[in-house]
Amino acid sequence: MAVNVAEHAGRVADILGHPGKMPIGDEWVAASSGATLTTSDPGTGRALAEVPLAGAEDVDRAVSEARQAFTTWRRTAPLERAAILWRIADTLEAHADELALLETLDTGKPLEHSRGYDLNSAINEFRYMSGLAARVNGRLSPLSTMPSGVFHSYTRLEPLGVIGAITPWNFPLANASWKIAPALACGNTVVLKPSEETPLTTIRAAELMLQAGLPAGVVNVVTGDGSTGQALVRHPGVNKITFTGSTSTGQEIARVAAENMTRVSLELGGKSPNVIFADADIEAAILGAVGGGFWDSGEVCSSGSRLYVERPALDRVLEGLRKATEAMPIGHGLEPDTAIGPLISARHLDRVSGYVEEARGEGVEVAFGGERLDREGHFYRPTALLGASPDSKVINEEIFGPVLTVVPFDDATEVIDAANATSYGLAAGVWTSDIAKAHHFSENVEAGVVWVNSYGVVDPTMPWGGLKKSGWGRENGEQALHEFTEAKAVCMQVGSL
């Protein structure tokens, strides 16, 4: 029986609890201007909910609440912070089904992905950062230029203060958690601006955090559009911006943040190479290429969107990709067997299809896919492009849709040069049974994460971030603690010279 999408969409207001409001301090408020935004279901194109369109005044209020909460949160005992983060994970887990439903309705991704990846990623992030909250330590540093025993010198890792967090629409709750959990573990407070396309899970999760015992004002949400994000970046009371989104917005944020010397970390776009050598387990590599290229409709920053295949394996890989994608049901994210959901918006569908049409016009072969679905919602078929030139747009620009370029290669040096030839450096994959090739590739590819004989494994313990135009800084892992603390050196004379 077909799923009744309208009935599920009708539950959104009940799940949200405070429809049309955002949590600032200990209140649920509308925008001071009264302005709102509508978020819609990409699987139907129909409206789901209205949220406030926060302006500079609302951002100012949220920052001031976060600043006030910082004075006590920073002094909360680390183990108490750890306990609250753990309780947040438990509370998210207890509400995982409703959060997954919201995420699927708002982003379009299959429910199985929302529950299996997004929710687990958020829950695991809070648990992992709970474990680190009592380990935000400085270190004793014996001096080299002064007599030992006379000076005692150590570093303190101190929280930065108010963190402005800005997230994109593809992994709303997971990305919010990757920012909130480490920021809180280190003693900071947060004002978070979700994407206008997908604000719902962030709003609901903030409410659940309060239920889990997080003091009011430690996490505040300002819903809105790019202008809300701009107000947050410009605000002099924000100590750091942690941003995930496109490279062009990241560049603008870096420029604006420089005015106040606000710290910035940026998780940006990618155009990641996924390389299959002929000696690999080809069936496993095909599955990895399908997941790397088409999972969540390719709306993934680390999508393995440039597939390089050693020439003897090309035909088998292409045929395997075609068969595997033909077997993937495309549909609304709530339909139980859906493997490929819609793209986020009609505008984005036009953008993705525009790239393919331009490539087709340049003589690039569309090996399979290359078309929209004739149904409501914003659907595009998994697509492979063969024969794109190294300087073409489809090889160099992030399409952020289910579009793979497939390029044959003849030797390891050639493919590493090709892999490194874009301005991005987020992720890379390599498939081979030769451990020497795997190490050589891992050492020489310009990427923040390299997957060997796998693609897309993400874990809270693994640092995440990019090189080149893929950004600055790292989320996850112990490295995240350095993104949310400042080292202070203390040097004390304790004896006579």
Residue numbers annotated as active site: 267, 301
Residues 56, 232: contact at Cβ < 8 Å? no
- 73 or 294: CB nearest ligand NDP: 294
E strands, 180-311, are 189-193, 219-221, 240-244, 263-267, 273-276, 306-310
E strands, 292-344, are 306-310
Q: Which residue is nearest to ligand NDP (CB)?
A: 229
Q: For the CA atoms of the chain, what is the radius of gyration?
A: 23
Integer Cα distance of 115 and 118 in angstroms: 6
- 255 or 375: CB nearest ligand NDP: 255
Phi, psi of 135 (to 5 degrees): -120, 25
CB of 393: closest distance to ligand NDP in angstroms? Answer: 15
User: What angle separates helix 200-211 from helix 96-107, to the nearest 10 degrees?
Assistant: 160
- 31 or 301: CB nearest ligand NDP: 301
CB of 266: closest distance to ligand NDP in angstroms? Answer: 8
Q: Return the sign of the alpha-carbon dihedral for residues 176, 179, 184, 188.
A: negative
Integer Cα distance of 493 and 16 in angstroms: 56
Residues 292, 455: contact at Cβ < 8 Å? yes
CB of 247: closest distance to ligand NDP in angstroms? Answer: 6
| Cα–Cα nearest to 267, from 239, 252, 247, 248 | 247
CB of 437: closest distance to ligand NDP in angstroms? Answer: 27
CB of 424: closest distance to ligand NDP in angstroms? Answer: 9
- State the DSSP string of 138-196: --B---SSS-BTTEEEEEEEEE-SEEEEE--SSSHHHHHHHHHHHHHHTT-EEEEE--T
What token pair was written down for 408?
């044959």
Contact residues: ligand NDP, CB under 6 A? 166-171, 193, 195-197, 225-226, 229-230, 233, 244-246, 249, 252-253, 267-270, 301, 398, 400, 426, 466, 471
Neighbours of 68 (CB within 10 A): 15
CB of 296: closest distance to ligand NDP in angstroms? Answer: 10
CB of 177: closest distance to ligand NDP in angstroms? Answer: 13
Sequence-distant contacts of 362-371: CB under 8 A, at least 24 apart: 362/388, 362/389, 362/392, 363/387, 364/388, 364/392, 364/394, 367/318, 367/321, 367/322, 367/406, 368/321, 368/322, 368/325, 368/326, 369/325, 369/402, 369/403
Q: What is the largest CA-CA distance in the chain?
A: 84
CB of 209: closest distance to ligand NDP in angstroms? Answer: 19
- H or E stretch at 367: strand 365-368
What token pair was written down for 492?
């004390």
